[in-house]
Amino acid sequence: EAQVTQNPRYLITVTGKKLTVTCSQNMNHEYMSWYRQDPGLGLRQIYYSMNVEVTDKGDVPEGYKVSRKEKRNFPLILESPSPNQTSLYFCASSLGPAQGTSRPYEQYFGPGTRLTVT
Amino acid sequence: RKEVEQDPGPFNVPEGATVAFNCTYSNSASQSFFWYRQDCRKEPKLLMSVYSSGNEDGRFTAQLNRASQYISLLIRDSKLSDSATYLCVGGNTGGFKTIFGAGTRLFVKA
């Protein structure tokens, strides 16, 4: 089954304790992305990756790190979590742009990770 | 001004009604547009891509107006199961930076 998986699905942690949220896709997609979703603000892009070893900042990258060492995996790292990073996090993947264009395809989302930082 | 704006609603409509949502975008260079559906606390799922010529899928019709910089979603013959939040995506200027609207909440009542 084609899917995007995230782990853990729920996490409660304390301020300053490093954590990693994993994301994996089995569709051989080039593009992967992380979003956070907060009430009234919608989905905001944190980081995205166009392919292995190629990443770039989205709209809200502060406090987060990512890496893309393998095509299928795109972990999100919070080196020193703070309470304002309490949120619902989604990972997404899609194919690269259609040949001859720069228009991206639709994205497939993971089930989400609900993170609480106290 | 937000790059992509939606009326948050909620829209409360009876079954069988026709309802329309608009989504405005500020970047005239935006290249691709989508509508996603999100059920409560679940992941967003693609509803429709939005093409310049407009497109229809069953009870759903999406349109793009580049001159006025908005996309629209029309739902005909609303079902209870259409109750969800509808997210528009715009603002892609090529590459993969993606801008979502904050979503429009729809409640369809019997």
pLDDT grade for A103, boundaries at 50, 70 and 90: low
A112/B102 Cβ within 8 A: no
Comparing C-alpha atoms, which of A75, A97, A91 is closest to residue A30?
A: A97
Q: Which of A43, A88, A104 sits opposite B100 (nearest CB)?
A: A43
The C-alpha atoms of residue A8 and residue B44 are separated, in whole angstroms, by 18
Report the 10 Å Cβ neighbour count for A34: 28
Give the minimum alpha-carbon distance from B50 to chain A in angstroms, rounded to a whole number.
11
In a structure prediction context, what are the per-residue pLDDT tens digits for chain B, which is 110 residues long? 678 899 999 999 999 999 999 999 988 777 788 999 999 989 999 999 887 888 899 999 999 999 999 999 999 999 999 999 999 998 565 556 788 999 999 999 99
Q: Which residues of A touch B95 (CB under 8 A)?
A: 50, 102, 104
Establish if B92 touches chain A: CB-CB under 8 angstroms.
yes
B99 close contact with A: CB closer than 8 A: yes
d(Cα B15, Cα A95) in Å, to the nearest integer? 37
Pairing of the two strands A10-13 and A113-117 = parallel
CB under 8 Å to B72, separation ≥6 — which residues?
B20, B21, B22, B23, B62, B63, B65
Question: Which residue in the set B43, B96, B101 is minimally distant from A31, CB to CB?
Answer: B96
Report yes or no: A43 at the B interface, CB cutoff 8 Å: yes
Q: Taking a C-beta distance cutoff of 8 angstroms, is the pair A83, A53 a contact? A: no
Q: What are the residues whose beta carbons fall under 8 Å from the beta carbon of B58, sequence distance 6 or more?
A: none
